[in-house]
Amino acid sequence: MCEMLAIRSSQEMPIERVLTYAELLDEYGVAGFSWGLVWKSAAGELLRYRAVEGIRRDILARRALAGVKSTEYLVHLRRPSLMTTIAHRNAQPYLSQDRRLAFAHNGFFAQHREFRSAYQNRLEGTSDSEVGFCYYQDLISQGENPGEALINTHQRLGGRANIGVMRRGSPILFYCGNDDNAVYAFAAEGARFLTTALHSGDDYVLQTVFPQAEQTERVAVGTVREL
């Protein structure tokens, strides 16, 4: 029941604007049990912030992130499928040890238990999403195309899955595979956006959070979009 937002801007966007969008997604959606985001530095390094509180209850976020500017952001607002997994270690996005790959997931990987024991030494937390992250990393390390690897991760782990991936030196990838939470692509303020739909069967997210959106498109389920 999470929400996700990806942004790629032609000019550096202040993080305060991103936080405003994220707070509105949290307000109108059903997340609020942790949150996080990854952005690229001017040198292309992936940097991360995450908290166990929902973004509107995270009193440190704006102070800790003040002054950050970037052309690329990936935001995750969490409402876990299993409430017992509420913990900072399960807050997303996940970030690889070499800080070259970030991964965020909205949905539930139905077959995650089948793979958990194989990844036990690599798992920081207890969520199904982190199992998906490990599986995706393995596909990439084996040389699989990053977009196809997103599709194959969902097919093998089952369930529902919207997945956002930020990669150092490469565009953001966003896979739409959760028919309970549509993904919209649009332009606004000199940037391109991808956002989940507040688990609402209409375009309410565009009416309330992004009324300035142009060139709007509902992304087809089972496809990967590059941002």
> Quick one: pLDDT at residue 185?
98
Structure tokens at 26: 């949290």
> Quick one: pLDDT at residue 86?
87
Strand partners, 164: 104, 174
Amino acid at 114: E
DSSP 96: -
Single pTM value for the model = 0.97
Among 199, 205, 165, residue whose Cα is nearest residue 184: 205
Domain count, the chain: 1
Domain residues for the domain of 120 are 3-226
- Cβ burial of 209 (10 Å; 0-12, 13-18, 19+) is buried
> Quick one: pLDDT at residue 98?
95
> Quick one: pLDDT at residue 3?
97
The CATH number of residue 178's host domain is 3.60.20.10
> Quick one: pLDDT at residue 27?
95
Q: Average pLDDT of each block of 10 consecutive residues along the chain (227 residues)?
A: 96 97 95 94 96 95 97 95 85 96 97 95 95 98 98 98 97 97 96 98 97 98 97
